[in-house]
Amino acid sequence: MARLSVDLCGLRMKNPTMLASGVLDETGKSMVAVAKAGAGAIVTKSVGREPRPGHGNPCVVELECGLLNAMGLPNPGIEAFAQEIREAKKAGVPIIGSVFGGSEDEMAGLTMAMQRAGADAVELNLSCPHARGYGTELGSTPEAVESVCRRAKQDLKVPLFAKLTPNTPSISALAVAAAHGGADGVVAINTLKGMAISTEARMPILANKVGGLSGPAIKPVGLRCVYEIYDSVEIPIIGVGGICSGRDALEYVMAGASAVQIGTAVWTEGPGVFSKVCREMLAFMEENGFKTVGELVGVAHAGGR
């Protein structure tokens, strides 16, 4: 009998799927609902020190191949959000607190606040492509990534994940830096920087002009990033970008991911996507004689790790 349960840096997950930061994870209630629908773990919306309204509308464009968003990291601030974490914990699955900040000190403070609020792990958002001052400033160079991870990890007891940007010449260099800085895992990828233009209005559609592309269009990029990172680091990789089916999730696992996150497909299909992905993964494993997800991690690399 095949089983989907995984242990990710000590987080016990009933399956390797996680809700990605940014979709249906702004409130405790919505996180509980997504967990009930089958997600193995939940990543919260990225939270900062102070409340932030985010960018003006339009902040999302639906494209044939995915979504383009420039939400601008709207959130109520960590103090208010702690209550949502406490509510989300009722779901009985690991809750990973995502944080963003403008400096290493701010990131470290938020990381500790997430731990105090009860988060089972913390994800550093080092990769938002459309929030000036809070986006990739701390995540664009290996030096910055290593330093922010080291500072955030200093007094942290729960696992630390670094979410990396694909908008870089070498994502594996960023992953190596995160590992050197003490991150327990890396998350790849955040959205790709993009744009949509209204020919009628002759102007960019997003109020912020540029945004982050997600969904099926970015799956080949995410896969390539995970594949490259797997050759460079020993810490677990969490794959994300365009996953809509069990086959998509399995591609990420075979590229080297120990777990996967789903964002846009939750927006387009609803939270039922989690049980569908899990059902399809399990069917593939049973048909092909795999007993655990771990047996499949990285198998697309000739000769393994």
Ligand X SMILES: Cc1cc2nc3c(=O)[nH]c(=O)nc-3n(C[C@H](O)[C@H](O)[C@H](O)COP(=O)(O)O)c2cc1C
**Active site residue ranges:** 128
Task: Give yes or no for residue 130 binding ligand X (CB under 6 A).
Answer: no
- Choosing from 15, 111, 125, 167, the residue that interacts with ligand X (CB under 6 A) is 125
Residue nearest to ligand X (CB): 22
Task: Give yes or no for residue 61 binding ligand X (CB under 6 A).
Answer: no
User: 29-62 burial, b if ≥16 CB within 10 A, otherwise e?
Assistant: ebbbebbebbbbbbbbbbbbbeebeebeebbebe
Looking at the Cβ atoms of 88 and 290, the one nearer to ligand X is 88
Structural contact between residues 69 and 212, judged by C-beta atoms closer than 8 angstroms: yes
Residue 32: both structure tokens together: 């509980």
- Choosing from 111, 115, 168, 264, the residue that interacts with ligand X (CB under 6 A) is 264
Q: CA torsion, points 49, 79, 110, 32, in degrees to nearest 10? A: -120
Looking at the Cβ atoms of 15 and 290, the one nearer to ligand X is 15
Structural contact between residues 187 and 261, judged by C-beta atoms closer than 8 angstroms: yes
- Choosing from 97, 101, 159, 241, the residue that interacts with ligand X (CB under 6 A) is 241
Those residues whose C-beta lies under 8 Å from the C-beta of residue 85, and which sit 6 or more positions away, are 28, 44, 95, 97, 114, 117, 118, 119
Residue 266: both structure tokens together: 């939750």
Smallest gap from residue 118 Cβ to ligand X (A): 19
β-partners of residue 259 are 238
- Choosing from 214, 248, 257, 298, the residue that interacts with ligand X (CB under 6 A) is 214
Each residue 158-177 as x (binds ligand X by CB under 6 A) or -, in order, gives -----x--------------
Interface residues toward ligand X, by CB under 6 A: 20-23, 45-46, 67, 69, 71, 73, 98, 125, 163, 190-191, 214-215, 218, 240-243, 262-265
